Amino acid sequence: MGPTKILLEEREIPRQWYNIQADLPKPLPPYYHPGTLQPLGPADLAPLFPTELIKQEVSQERFVDIPEEVQEVYRLWRPTPLFRARRLEKALDTPAKIFYKYEGTSPAGSHKLNTAAAQAYYNKREGVRRLTTETGAGQWGSALAIACKFFGLECTVYMVKVSYQQKPYRRSLMQAFGATVHASPTDLTNAGRSILAEHPDSPGSLGIAISEAVEDAATHDDARYSLGSVLNHVLMHQTVIGLEAKAQMAKVDAYPDVVIACCGGGSNLGGISHPFLADKLTGKQPKLRVVAVEPAACPTLTKGKYLYDFGDSVGLGPVARMYTLGHTFVPAGIHAGGLRYHGDSPIVSLLYDEGIIEAIAYHQNPVFAAAIQFAATEAIVPAPESAHAIKAAIDEALRCREAGEAKTILFNLSGHGNFDMAAYDDYLKGKLTDTEYSSEEVEKALAHLPKLA
């Protein structure tokens, strides 16, 4: 029997990120300015991001060097382990081979620190004093709080109100690393005040929290904004996941037939899948499948439209062509807070529109059932977001059982759920509801998209 844990040495941590833009079948559509609705130039992004990240956003270089200072931080927890889920395979009685890459070993508990470290480093190098950001699940806010502490930056986090209430200890964790945390919408920004004026009981959303964080950065010279997902440079930073997983699978002579990840803004999906998709896009692995898994309460890829929309709820951030449910759509307060985003990464959107990747949506009760089944065999309680990928991997393995096929399945376990026990409590007490997204609300939100000339 081969190993259960497939490990790399510290010296095998990737030294470069992989940039899928070099291999896309067509260029990404440009960004547009939220005010003028004209194509966006680097100068328009300067109030929000440091120059190096703006360059990375549009870079066509296939590989980009990881700075030594960022590698030094990565060495705290990378390389992360790749597991063969033998006990889960046995419980499912499937001939499929199930592998999972575990990003929950990072100090923040998820993959998010891979890009937080890089973003904090570039901002510090360019003289920024403070970073502002949003957080849904609290995973991204924790990651940025840690990264800011490492690189000597202040950190202001706008945390979606429903998550702020559901996850008080994520807030404490961010505060322990010195971050200032606000429940969004707040009355501290014009964006927050405008939402509260219309919806005083708003549970908040990632789109609203992004608007607040963007406004805060844009109105303070010494502050910049940091986004935990969606943008091209964020997905690129996450490719350390897939690059390591590829090397780990090679060690046991394995290659996935299907790569699965949950998809909020698309960063862990991009991170695990892009290094494998490189083989599909260059013709080496034409049959490789990649599956994005999203919540049925916020089904951006499976029910949204591929159109130009604002990345935030109020319309302050860049306009991107992406799958969207409409920037004013506020998804139900499901427990996978990190998947409650109206839009999606432009790269993931293009790959989906071109039929290169697939997508599937699940309700939260079956997702939590899969999480419990996984924990019972593999002993890790997953983040509710990551549990979406587990549900899809289990379903794929069960289809293999029916068909008698020994496929190789790889999924990304993007984070642990140790701060999500209130959600598990609700699930175990039968208190979780499976909220259908409202197609009426989506139609209404889609009527408010920006009209480009």
The answer to whether residue 273 forms part of the interface with ligand PLP (CB under 6 A) is no
The answer to whether residue 264 forms part of the interface with ligand PLP (CB under 6 A) is yes
Given 415, 432, 442, 445, the residue binding ligand PLP (CB under 6 A): 415
Show Cβ contacts of residue 410 under 8 Å, excluding neighbours closer than 6 positions: 99, 100, 101, 245, 249, 256, 258, 259, 260, 272, 276
Which residue reads 């009685």 in tokens? 93
CB 77 within 8 A of CB 382: no
CA dihedral 137→192→432→102, nearest 10 degrees, is -10
Given 79, 204, 242, 265, the residue binding ligand PLP (CB under 6 A): 265
CB 174 within 8 A of CB 202: no
What's the gap between Cα 349 and its chain centre?
14
Nearer residue to ligand PLP within complex by CB, 92 or 263? 263
Nearer residue to ligand PLP within complex by CB, 148 or 262? 262
Nearer residue to ligand PLP within complex by CB, 229 or 248? 229
Q: State the minimum distance, in angstroms, from the CB of residue 133 to ligand PLP.
A: 11
Q: State the minimum distance, in angstroms, from the CB of residue 335 to ligand PLP.
A: 11
CB 175 within 8 A of CB 142: no
- Report which residue type is found at 433: T
Nearer residue to ligand PLP within complex by CB, 139 or 226? 139
Rounded to whole angstroms, how far apart are CA atoms 261 and 179?
A: 29
Given 414, 419, 442, 446, the residue binding ligand PLP (CB under 6 A): 414
Given 192, 242, 256, 266, the residue binding ligand PLP (CB under 6 A): 266
The answer to whether residue 163 forms part of the interface with ligand PLP (CB under 6 A) is no
Q: State the minimum distance, in angstroms, from the CB of residue 171 to ligand PLP.
A: 14
> For ligand PLP, which stretch binds (CB under 6 A), given 57-65, 118-126, 171-179, 266-274?
266-274
> For ligand PLP, which stretch binds (CB under 6 A), given 82-90, 136-144, 175-183, 399-407?
136-144
Using CB under 6 A as the criterion, what x/- string covers residues 74-113 for binding ligand PLP?
Answer: ------------------------------------x---
Given 108, 162, 191, 263, the residue binding ligand PLP (CB under 6 A): 263
> For ligand PLP, which stretch binds (CB under 6 A), given 40-48, 132-140, 395-403, 443-451?
132-140
The answer to whether residue 267 forms part of the interface with ligand PLP (CB under 6 A) is yes
The answer to whether residue 185 forms part of the interface with ligand PLP (CB under 6 A) is no
Given 136, 207, 331, 333, the residue binding ligand PLP (CB under 6 A): 136
Using a 10 angstrom Cβ sphere, with 0-12 exposed, 13-18 middle and 19 or more buried, the burial of residue 220 is middle
Nearer residue to ligand PLP within complex by CB, 272 or 446? 272
Nearer residue to ligand PLP within complex by CB, 92 or 293? 293
Given 128, 383, 387, 445, the residue binding ligand PLP (CB under 6 A): 383
Q: State the minimum distance, in angstroms, from the CB of residue 217 to ligand PLP.
A: 20
Q: State the minimum distance, in angstroms, from the CB of residue 105 to ligand PLP.
A: 12
Rounded to whole angstroms, how far apart are CA atoms 151 and 114?
A: 14
Rounded to whole angstroms, how far apart are CA atoms 164 and 180?
A: 13
The answer to whether residue 268 forms part of the interface with ligand PLP (CB under 6 A) is yes
The answer to whether residue 386 forms part of the interface with ligand PLP (CB under 6 A) is yes
The answer to whether residue 56 forms part of the interface with ligand PLP (CB under 6 A) is no
Query: How many positions of this chain bind ligand PLP (CB under 6 A)?
Result: 21
Cα(first)–Cα(last) distance of the chain, in Å?
Answer: 61
Q: State the minimum distance, in angstroms, from the CB of residue 49 to ligand PLP.
A: 17
**Binding residues vs ligand PLP (CB under 6 A):** 110, 136-137, 139-140, 229, 262-269, 338-339, 383, 385-386, 414-415
